[in-house]
Amino acid sequence: MLAVVFQVRDLETRNPQLNVLLWERALDPERGAWALPGGSLRHDEDMTSSVRRQLAEKVDLREIAHLEQLAVFSDPDRVPGRRTIASTFLGLVPSPATPELPPDTRWHPLHALPPMAFDHGPMVEHARTRLVAKLSYTNIGFALAPKEFALSTLRDIYGAALDYQVDATNLQRVLARRGVITRTGTTAQSGRSGGRPAALYRFTDSQLRVTDEFAALRPPN
């Protein structure tokens, strides 16, 4: 069982990025390489419960807003020694959660991944592809966003996850039309520069649902 856990970090900067949670291996094989958190399935638990337990026990991560099974990696030579089949999961942590992590565990920007153990690099890429697809046709953004947010914040979250610039007005129009987000009726506090306070929004649901099964968000021309 292996978990690919994403979070959009550095929202307070001009360069928010999608990060993945990795831990550094201390033993051979692949000592010093970075790996996805996970472990073996116990006989008394299902796979989803197993992943949640391992994230809590091994990297002290409990703030998972969404968790779903992704794929099975079964190449006979994927790891040395006894054949091991890996089932991967996609996990999402909302911003601005700041879970405390063990010393050997860190968030890594997807654009600057360290040397990865075994086949964990392709697992990360597969998970990101799934996330990008689901941002188009579901409301999965709820699992990356704060409970309340300005449209500029949501734009930055979607832009970091999709890896291209997103127009806040167009994003609001699309998501509001699908009933994904709604106004809270409140506004954000004014920043140091003053100006009109931004309206705050929230996601209508905090459970995954399909909003338009044929939709696809695409980068601007």
Considering the domain architecture, whether residues 54 and 120 belong to the same structural domain is answered as: yes
Considering the domain architecture, whether residues 89 and 193 belong to the same structural domain is answered as: no
Q: Kind and range of the H or E element at 34?
A: strand 34-35
pLDDT of amino acid 139: 97
Mean pLDDT of 108-117: 97
pLDDT of amino acid 195: 65
Considering the domain architecture, whether residues 90 and 184 belong to the same structural domain is answered as: no
pLDDT of amino acid 12: 86
Whether 208 maps to a domain, the answer reads no
Whether 167 maps to a domain, the answer reads yes
Considering the domain architecture, whether residues 191 and 104 belong to the same structural domain is answered as: no
Considering the domain architecture, whether residues 43 and 100 belong to the same structural domain is answered as: yes
pLDDT at 53 > cutoff 80: yes
DSSP track, 111-150:
GG--PBPTTHHHHHHHHHHHHHHHHHHB-GGGGTS-SSEE
pLDDT tens for 22-52 read 999 999 999 999 999 999 999 999 999 999 9
Main-chain phi, psi angles of 94, to 5 degrees: -75, 155
Whether 170 maps to a domain, the answer reads yes
Greater model confidence, 216 or 35: 35
Whether 188 maps to a domain, the answer reads yes
Mean pLDDT of 126-154: 96
pLDDT of amino acid 62: 83
Q: Which of 100, 118, 137 is the last residue of a domain?
A: 137
pLDDT of amino acid 192: 53
Considering the domain architecture, whether residues 32 and 66 belong to the same structural domain is answered as: yes
pLDDT of amino acid 129: 96
CATH number for position 185: 1.10.10.10
Q: Which of 79, 105, 137 is the last residue of a domain?
A: 137
Q: Domain count for the chain, please give it.
A: 2
Domain membership of residue 111 as a residue range: 2-137
Instruction: Give the pairing of strands 86-92 and 66-73.
Output: antiparallel
- State how far the Cα of 28 lies from the Cα of 65, in Å rounded to an integer: 33
Check residue 86 and report its DSSP letter. Answer: E
Considering the domain architecture, whether residues 113 and 69 belong to the same structural domain is answered as: yes
pLDDT tens for 146-184 read 999 999 999 999 999 999 999 999 999 999 999 999 999
Considering the domain architecture, whether residues 127 and 150 belong to the same structural domain is answered as: no
CATH number for position 22: 3.90.79.10
pLDDT at 96 > cutoff 80: yes
pLDDT of amino acid 220: 77
User: Mean pLDDT for the chain?
Assistant: 92
pLDDT of amino acid 28: 93
